[in-house]
Structure 1
Amino acid sequence: MLQRLFRNLSVLWLLLPGLPVVAMEVSSGKLMTLPAFEFHDIAARPVHVWLPEGYPSQQPYSVLYMHDGQMLFDRRTTWNKQEWGVDEVAAELQRQGKVKPFIVVAIENISETRHQDYFPQKARALMPETAQAQQHPFNQAELRADNYLKFLVTQVKPYIDRNFQVARDASHTFIAGSSMGGLISLYATLEYPEVFSAVAAISTHWPGIGPEDKLPVAASIRAYLEQNLPEPGTHRFYFDYGTKTLDAYYPPLQQQVDTIMQQAGYHSPDWQTRAFEGHAHDEDSWRLRLAEPLLFLLGSDTPVQPR
């Protein structure tokens, strides 16, 4: 039902999967697909691991978990023929010594369940009761973000820790995504602060649903953030947005989030919000600025957060 609503709005692409029609390839490093996991209460999906050139010569590696995995590496396999260029950007930063050595774990999305998987589940309960009582598709949707994160934390991460030459502690474990992927990345950090020490929420879809919808979903997300932010000095947060297409809705919402961060005591270098003039809500724009969140998360001069 929720998908039918969004297909009538201008945010259709939020739910499109980019299902690959050919095997993904990378131009730098190596991409491998993990064996199938057991899936409980979420739809089955592929999980890929990108390894930089020379792996495992610089062990132990940090780990960056990313969502919408089929959109990250190979434009031939994406629905819109765009990609993040994660392999190229990450490889170049590592070659230049600008970031700590790291691998990327890329979890694909499933079109039919993407919104339910990525929306911060506990935030919906923070809407006013009058809003929750409305006959709105969002209120009837079965949210699965808690199950998705449980899959990530209890199945995917232990597999990565056992089978790859990586540092297992939170100070070397990061998470990133865009749009709804930005929301689930933030939610992961707040729900599992002992697992993830830093997050990059890129073009974060703060409205939560259609940007012109009147249901107070964005306010509920902010309330959840305000109630669950860890103490300053233990975690790091990166936010950004463009100024075109869907991103044009984000500046006032991001400003309200920034106020929450400031009031909680966050400041540079543990928190950063960036605006990118002329950038749209698409993979081409995220590719252009991908180096910025990677440097924030993994910069070679970034101090390890105290635990």
Structure 2
Amino acid sequence: MVQRRQILAAGLSFGLLGSISVTHAAPQAGGRFVDIESFPSQFITPRKVRIWLPPDYNEQERYDSLYMHDGQNLFEPAASFAHGAWEVDKHLVALRAANAIRPTIVVAIWNGQSYRSREYGPQEPIETLSPALQARIPRPSADGGTSPQADAYIKFIAEELVPYIDQHFPTIAKHDHRFLMGSSMGGLISLYALSKYPSLFGGAGCLSIHWIIATNPQLTTPPDRTSLATIARSYRTWLQQHLPAAGQHKIYFDHGDQGLDALYGEHQQQIDQLMREKHYQQDKDWVTRYFAGADHNERAWRARLAEPLRFLLK
């Protein structure tokens, strides 16, 4: 059974959003979905947002909130890429049953499809690169544009989506109960958003984080590692100046060694050194995990998803 109703986005932050159409699915053993098919925005193109509520959801209780990118890959195999969905709902139900995490809702944000690379590439580091290197990053979208859009994307999350969620759902509206998570470029934008809005978010889960940023690293065979290292260094340099101070946030990194993940190890080691220099404590407020044999796809992320969920939400 599905119920559809209009919710007026109230409050000063929603002045230009108007009414939002919301679809409520009937509760299931694995929880239920609240779908907003086209969340309006002043900053980016409208897109679908899905809120997952746990099976024992109770409006009298208070919940952590987990904002996840690439929303179409998180729950249902039919909507995901070739390697199936992450099955986020099943992981959260199992972990909660084991009392391993706090009560949590998920806010799944659909990617902008042809805009994905432009929205997920960390904008300020990219803009420090030469035009030739910048051209390797934002794949042109349907409108022919190539300019980075990450700042607009995270502004949408911080200034429009988070206030809406906190107003309409019983969340704990504190930074240490609000988290971000994504894989590949979704990991890039999770860390970028945390660093730009450290008072809003308490942590980021970055699976197979795409340190090389370039959308097509195989332009040459073997890959042009010199250019990729320069691109990766731009983000590392930015993080040296903007990473939140240790002690108030949690950051999770991981990678495998197959496919694109085979390019990440050397860059992750340099980031690990940066984390130490910033006084992040391994296994307390920062974790880096290596998974031998793991590839760069949804199947691999699904297999280890419990790791970042436990770390962020324990």
**Interval of TM-score (by shorter of Structure 1 and Structure 2):** 0.7 to 0.9
User: May I ask how many residue pairs the two structures share in their alignment?
Assistant: 273
Alignment deviations for residues 140-196 of structure 1 (CA, whole Å, 9 cap, x no partner):
831111100111111111111011011011010000000000000000000000100
TM-score after normalising by structure 1: 0.84
- Alignment match, 2:100: 98
2:150 matches 1:150 = no
**Is this contact kept in 1: 2:83–2:299, CA < 8 A?**
no
CA distance in 2, matches of 1:267, 1:60: 29
1:92-131 equivalences in 2 (<5 Å): 92-127=94-129, 131=130
Q: How far off is 1:80 after superposition?
A: 1.1
Secondary structure of the 2:240 match is helix
- Alignment match, 1:244: 258
If asked which structure has higher relative contact order (CA below 8 Å, sep 6+), I would say 1
- Alignment match, 2:243: 229
Secondary structure of the 2:245 match is coil
**Letter in structure 1 aligned against 2:305:** L
**Is this contact kept in 2: 1:201–1:238, CA < 8 A?**
yes
Secondary structure of the 1:188 match is helix
2:223 matches 1:218 = no
**Is this contact kept in 1: 2:127–2:134, CA < 8 A?**
no
Secondary structure of the 2:199 match is coil
CA distance in 1, matches of 2:60, 2:291: 33
Secondary structure of the 1:281 match is coil
2:292 matches 1:277 = yes
Q: How far off is 1:137 after superposition?
A: 4.8
Q: How far off is 1:99 after superposition?
A: 0.2
Change beyond 3 A, Cα 1:251–1:236: same
**Letter in structure 1 aligned against 2:267:** L
User: Structure 1 stretches (4+) deviating beyond 6 angstroms?
Assistant: none
Work out the percentage of aligned pairs sharing the same amino acid. Answer: 41
Structure number having the greater strand percentage: 2
Find 1:289's aligned residue among 304, 309, 312.
304
**Letter in structure 2 aligned against 1:121:** Q
Unpaired runs of 5+ residues, structure 1, are 1-22, 300-307
Secondary structure of the 1:34 match is strand
Secondary structure of the 1:36 match is strand
**Letter in structure 1 aligned against 2:237:** A
Q: How far off is 1:31 after superposition?
A: 1.3
1:133-212 equivalences in 2 (<5 Å): 136-138=135-137, 141-209=146-214, 210-211=216-217, 212=223
